[in-house]
Amino acid sequence: MARGKFWFLSQSSLNNTFSVIKVLLTLFLWVINSSVLAQVIDIPHQDEAPTRTLLVNATKPRAVVLLFPGGGGQAGIFDNGSAKSKHTFIRSLNLWAQYGIDAVLVDSPYNLGHTRSNLRGRQDHLNRVDEVVRFYKAKLNLPVWIFGHSMGSSTATYYANEFDSSGKKISGIIIAGTISTAYLNQDVEIPVLGMHHQQDACGVTPVSATSAIINGRSSKQISKLEIIDGGISEGGICDSFAYHGFNQSEPELIKRAAQFILNPK
């Protein structure tokens, strides 16, 4: 008679096994939820390449935030909803839904340059931003906010300066890790939130770049400065996984931004 083989696991081994299963199940459910809620939407732009966006819906949304990452602005959104970039906006994309905010990651079909070759003031780029704003305002019928990080802060400020200083299209802007060349005109009336990591050591994004914009606004205008601490810094000081990119402090970053969006004051 053939005899079966039996393996006896210690209690600690069983606990470790169940822990692994629990983690794998959580990741599986996260992937399923992400694939159901995320939509890749290409917004036409004349006869040229469209502007690709990735929409993550909240269950009962009260606002929508358009996310413009730093660097060259190319998130690299694939057809399946994943992205090539590891920018902080991508790492935290699913955190907005808990606050009732639809999040839209905005890609660029071309490199928008860096500090010495910033193309974010280029008319073609700002026209694309305006097309994204109009599309989502019509599609979702929600207050629209623009959130720009690092080089993306210039997208937010350029758009406010040139396209919507009075808030007819957008309800406000958020700038974080602001680049030193970003500025806001005095006639920009919309609410503005400035965010920066206390330990941001990137030379072109000093804390003063954000505080100067907020402190330079009229007391009659809605403005707020949020300084975030904590997290860790890895790699280059201007990279996405440094303090500059709010590495491992993303929950606090999104929480404070969401609070301002829902109740600007």
At the fourth CATH level, which superfamily is domain 38-262?
Alpha/Beta hydrolase fold, catalytic domain (3.40.50.1820)
Check residue 205 and report its DSSP letter: S
pTM above 0.75, yes or no: yes
- Distance separating alpha carbons of residues 231 and 250, to the nearest angstrom: 8
Q: Tell me: the pLDDT tens digits for 122-167?
A: 999 999 999 999 999 999 999 999 999 999 999 999 999 999 999 9
The H or E element containing residue 157 is helix 152-162
Residue 257: name the closest of 202, 209, 205, 193 by CA. Answer: 193
Residue 116 — pLDDT band, cuts 50, 70, 90? Answer: confident
Q: Tell me: the pLDDT tens digits for 161-202?
A: 999 999 999 999 999 999 999 999 999 999 999 999 999 999
N-terminal to C-terminal alpha carbon distance within the chain: 79
